[in-house]
């Protein structure tokens, strides 16, 4: 099912209200649309003389909406999972870890979509494309990259339809950092699909589109068939329309088709539609289409262990219900468990000597011939920005842009690179002396900017020695950036790369399950130990992977630096979501000492200008504050007292003032641990 929200929906069909903010999101390169209206606490409730419950949103037109859904919600003890943002984020991240959907989506984009895109255009010098519900644009740009390979040198007119201002801002920011988009003219339409349709018709636009995509957004339209019909009508001859949607044959379709009405009292917040609904009006019209089956699975074994924390989180996510195991009736729980075990939803599978149950999520894409509807039935969940950041280095979507913005502003990579060039050449000579091969492991490597430099140094020290690099990175988008960087670095073409798109702890589990541990000459863990659950076990495991004379390099915030002061002073207000526990070099050093490991510590001095943070109207300052406090909106996330306290701490305890600038102490510690 889609990402549920606390939006108030009327019991009659309606267009999106002026007071609604729609958020379209993409995680690891995928779309996460959703709709969010002001919290119920901000809506004035009144009771009419006749006893009907009325809600009056903060609507500039002063309209009052009769909402039977809210009355039902008050009587139903089950709550949508999204009302508890923190729990939603945890369950969402667990879903990402247990699911294989990402591989399916990437498989479609890079194996099936190229042939589809090759068939459009008929040799025209320009192509018209419409992206509806484009979110922060990561998937759009990936699709555009494929389009360019099939139509090199062709100009593209791209209509972006996205109702969320924050998401569109992220999209524009992403475009501004791309150097290969000069051939694309972007037109930004900050509006819903229905508003775009209305505008198109009112302006009597005759332009035809060669390619249109509607990705995970049909849950939020009032008239499914009318929406499909409109976007079909704007297609050029031989144009293609792609729709991403849940499959009626999947486990999701079976579960929600059976228990959807019982699981959520707010079922009208969005419409649960599947490919079956699309077929129901395409088939009677005699529309031809092709179907691509893209199966994916999710391990739901833990759901059947009573009291298992992760199992309960998965259950919440599967049912979109907050604390399902505690709030659902015994009859509903039993019915859901029986269905989850049923072969229609899952299959038993033996793994490592244990019986696992894999949730079936059959995906389908449907493609018509001249004005096709291409339907992908992957269960792609929508979540907040922090859900993408929830675990170690697992930045996706707009969170990637926030992270890259911070790196650009802070100069952190520059400081680390300077240290790397000062320290590692000598270390590498000692590590590789007398060896006939070298193995490198990067844990939480991000976009690879630092790894590429380190690998180049290692290769220059031993140009004739074969070099292999294993990369563990939880973010698919950053891994994609890393691969692109490698492709452009000529002296790394002979390096054998192995890519592990997973969290560091999942890599540990995978290696232990195999029983044979690959050993490495050099391992680095840069700015990622905040995101692991067990610091001691993580260090112990990765240290055990070192070869004789190898080195483990850990870079982390310096004890008593600006970050350490900020996060430990306001730990109750800032902790949670992605960060398992805020740590500095003090905690890592204590861990190394407790394990009797020999190490050297080096300080990497760094400061960056946060003067803009003290101007509430400065957008750069607000973006920095958002990143530094791990919030989407700093000014809306904290009370006035906490905001004032954080700003005072940043100025007076975390920074120094020089030449009228406030310079935040962002110094780091580099710990070189001996094998």
Task: Write out pLDDT tens, residues 508-564.
Answer: 988 888 888 999 999 999 999 988 888 999 999 999 999 999 999 999 999 999 999
Sequence-separated (6 or more) residues with CB below 8 Å from residue 380? 30, 31, 32, 101, 105, 216, 244
Nearest to 195 by CA among 381, 22, 62, 31: 22
**CA atoms within a 13 Å half-sphere pointing along the CA-CB vector of 398:** 30
Distance CA 184, CA 465 (A): 44
Distance CA 627, CA 362 (A): 37
Question: Around Cβ 41, how many Cβ atoms within 10 Å?
Answer: 6
- Both tokens assigned to 460: 């220059």
109 or 460, which is more confident: 460
* Percentage of the chain modeled with pLDDT above 90: 41
Q: Which range has the worst mean pLDDT, 68-82, 254-268, 356-370?
A: 356-370
39 pLDDT above the threshold of 70:
no
634 pLDDT above the threshold of 60:
yes
The residues that bridge with 497 in the sheet, in sequence order, are 469
The residues that bridge with 656 in the sheet, in sequence order, are 663
Give the mean pLDDT of 63-72. 35
The residue behind tokens 């995978």 is 510
135 pLDDT above the threshold of 70:
yes
Confidence grade of residue 76 (pLDDT, cut at 50, 70, 90): low
Give the mean pLDDT of 339-360. 64
Instruction: Confirm if 394 and 616 have CB atoms less than 8 A apart.
Output: no
DSSP-derived pairing of the beta strands 438-443 and 496-500: unpaired
Distance CA 38, CA 58 (A): 8
Give the mean pLDDT of 493-505. 89
Sequence-separated (6 or more) residues with CB below 8 Å from residue 397? 25, 26, 27, 28, 32, 135, 136, 138, 170, 385, 388, 477
Give the mean pLDDT of 342-355. 62
Sequence-separated (6 or more) residues with CB below 8 Å from residue 202? none
Confidence grade of residue 362 (pLDDT, cut at 50, 70, 90): very low
591 or 628, which is more confident: 591
Q: Which range has the worst mean pLDDT, 8-17, 224-233, 395-404?
A: 8-17
3-state secondary structure of 572: helix
Instruction: Confirm if 25 and 383 have CB atoms less than 8 A apart.
Output: yes
- Both tokens assigned to 630: 């791990």
- Both tokens assigned to 425: 């050449």
The residue behind tokens 């000492």 is 593
- Both tokens assigned to 613: 């943070």
668 pLDDT above the threshold of 90:
yes
Q: Which range has the worst mean pLDDT, 481-485, 581-585, 623-627?
A: 581-585
* Percentage of the chain modeled with pLDDT above 70: 75
* pLDDT tens-digit map of 165-191: 877 898 999 999 888 898 999 999 999
Rounded to whole angstroms, what are the CA distances from 350 to 15, 314, 441, 504, 562? Answer: 49, 20, 30, 24, 49
Distance CA 278, CA 283 (A): 9
Give the mean pLDDT of 240-253. 79
Distance CA 147, CA 366 (A): 19
Distance CA 323, CA 163 (A): 31
Q: Which range has the worst mean pLDDT, 253-262, 396-405, 527-536?
A: 396-405
Longest dimension (CA), the chain: 90
What end-to-end distance do the CA atoms of the chain give, in Å?
48
Confidence grade of residue 431 (pLDDT, cut at 50, 70, 90): very high
pLDDT for the residue 23: 31
Distance CA 567, CA 577 (A): 14
Confirm whether pTM is higher than 0.75: no
Containing H/E element for 18? none
Nearest to 654 by CA among 558, 561, 584: 561
444 or 101, which is more confident: 444
pLDDT for the residue 167: 77
Distance CA 166, CA 187 (A): 17
Nearest to 238 by CA among 116, 359, 329: 116
* pLDDT tens-digit map of 263-299: 754 444 446 677 778 888 877 877 666 666 666 778 8
- The DSSP secondary-structure symbol of 179 reads S
Containing H/E element for 657? strand 655-658
Angle CA 160–164–168, to nearest 5: 50
3-state secondary structure of 301: helix
Length of the chain: 675
- Give the start-end residues of each E strand in 412-567: 438-443, 467-472, 496-500, 520-526, 546-557
Distance CA 642, CA 648 (A): 10
3-state secondary structure of 312: helix
Q: Which range has the worst mean pLDDT, 403-412, 568-577, 634-643?
A: 568-577
What domains sit in the chain, N to C, each tagged with a CATH number?
92-383 (3.40.50.150), 397-560+577-608+666-674 (3.40.50.150)
The DSSP annotation for 109-164 comes to IIIIHHHHHHTSSTT-SEEEEEEES-TTSHHHHHHHHHHHHHSTT-EEEEEEE---
587 pLDDT above the threshold of 80:
yes
Phi and psi based region of residue 245 (left: phi greater than 0; alpha: psi -120 to 50; beta: remaining) = beta
Query: Quick one: CA dihedral 373, 379, 382, 385, positive or negative?
Result: negative
Nearest to 444 by CA among 538, 386, 527: 527
3-state secondary structure of 45: strand
Distance CA 120, CA 117 (A): 6
373 pLDDT above the threshold of 50:
no
* pLDDT tens-digit map of 594-633: 999 999 999 999 999 999 999 999 988 998 998 888 777 7
**Residue 241 — φ and ψ, nearest 5°?**
-120, 125
314 or 259, which is more confident: 314
């Amino acid at each position: 099912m889609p990402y549920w929200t606390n939006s108030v929906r009327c019991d009659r069909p309606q267009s999106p209200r002026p007071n609604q903010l729609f958020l379209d999101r993409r995680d690891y390169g995928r779309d996460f649309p959703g709709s969010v209206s002001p919290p119920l606490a901000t809506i004035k409730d009144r009771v009419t003389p006749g006893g009907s419950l009325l809600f009056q949103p903060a609507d500039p037109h002063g309209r009052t909406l009769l909402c039977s859904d809210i009355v039902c919600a008050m009587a139903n003890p089950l709550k949508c999972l999204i009302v508890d943002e923190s729990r939603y984020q945890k369950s969402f991240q667990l879903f990402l870890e247990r699911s294989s959907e990402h591989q399916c989506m990437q498989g479609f984009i890079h194996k099936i979509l190229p042939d589809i895109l090759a068939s459009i255009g008929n040799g025209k010098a320009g192509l018209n494309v419409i992206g509806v519900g484009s979110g922060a644009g990561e998937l759009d740009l990936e699709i555009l990259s494929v389009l360019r390979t099939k139509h090199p040198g062709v100009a593209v007119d791209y209509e972006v339809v996205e109702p969320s201002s924050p998401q569109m801002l992220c999209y524009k920011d992403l475009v501004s950092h791309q150097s290969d988009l000069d051939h694309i003219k972007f037109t930004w339409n900050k509006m819903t699909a229905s508003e775009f349709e209305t505008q198109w018709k009112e302006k009597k636009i005759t332009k035809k589109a060669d390619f249109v995509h509607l990705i995970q957004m049909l849950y939020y339209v009032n008239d499914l068939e009318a929406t499909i019909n409109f976007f079909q009508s704007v297609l050029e001859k031989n144009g293609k329309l792609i729709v991403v949607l849940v499959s009626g044959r999947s486990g999701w379709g079976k579960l929600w088709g059976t228990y959807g009405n019982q699981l959520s009292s707010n079922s009208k917040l969005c419409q649960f539609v599947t490919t079956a609904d699309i077929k129901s009006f395409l088939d009677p019209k005699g529309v031809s289409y092709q179907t691509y089956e893209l199966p994916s699975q999710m391990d739901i074994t833990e759901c059947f262990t009573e009291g298992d924390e992760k199992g309960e989180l998965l259950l919440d996510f599967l049912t979109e219900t907050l604390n399902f195991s505690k709030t659902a009736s015994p009859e509903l729980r039993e019915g859901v468990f029986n269905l989850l075990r049923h072969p229609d939803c899952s299959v038993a599978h033996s793994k490592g000597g244990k019986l696992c149950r894999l949730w079936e999520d059959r995906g389908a894409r449907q493609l018509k011939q001249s004005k096709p509807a291409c339907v992908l039935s992957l269960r792609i969940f929508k979540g907040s920005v922090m859900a993408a950041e929830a675990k170690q280095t697992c930045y996706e979507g707009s969170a990637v842009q926030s992270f890259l913005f911070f790196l650009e502003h802070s100069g952190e990579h520059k400081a680390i690179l300077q240290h790397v060039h000062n320290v590692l050449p000598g270390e590498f000579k000692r590590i590789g002396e007398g060896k006939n091969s070298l193995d490198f492991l990067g844990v939480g490597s991000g976009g690879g900017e630092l790894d590429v430099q380190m690998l180049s140094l290692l290769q220059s020290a031993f140009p004739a020695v074969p070099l292999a690099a294993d990369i563990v990175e939880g973010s698919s988008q950053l891994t994609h950036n890393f691969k692109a960087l490698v492709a452009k670095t000529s002296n790394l073409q002979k390096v054998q790369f192995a890519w592990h798109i997973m969290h560091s702890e999942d890599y540990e589990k995978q290696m232990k399950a195999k029983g044979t541990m690959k050993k490495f000459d050099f391992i680095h863990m840069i700015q990622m130990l905040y995101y692991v659950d067990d610091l001691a076990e993580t260090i112990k495991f990765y240290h055990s992977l070192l070869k004789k004379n190898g080195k483990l390099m850990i870079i982390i915030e310096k004890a008593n630096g600006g970050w350490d002061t900020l996060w430990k002073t306001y730990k109750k207000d800032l902790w949670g979501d992605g960060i398992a526990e805020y740590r500095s070099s003090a905690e890592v050093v204590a861990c190394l000492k407790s394990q009797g490991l020999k190490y050297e510590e080096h300080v990497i001095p760094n400061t960056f200008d946060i003067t803009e943070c003290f101007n509430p109207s400065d957008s750069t300052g607000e973006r920095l504050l958002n990143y530094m406090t791990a919030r989407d909106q700093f000014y809306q996330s904290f009370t006035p007292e906490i905001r004032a306290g954080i700003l005072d701490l940043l100025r007076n305890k975390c920074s120094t003032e020089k030449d009228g600038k406030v310079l935040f102490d962002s110094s780091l510690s580099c710990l070189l641990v001996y094998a």
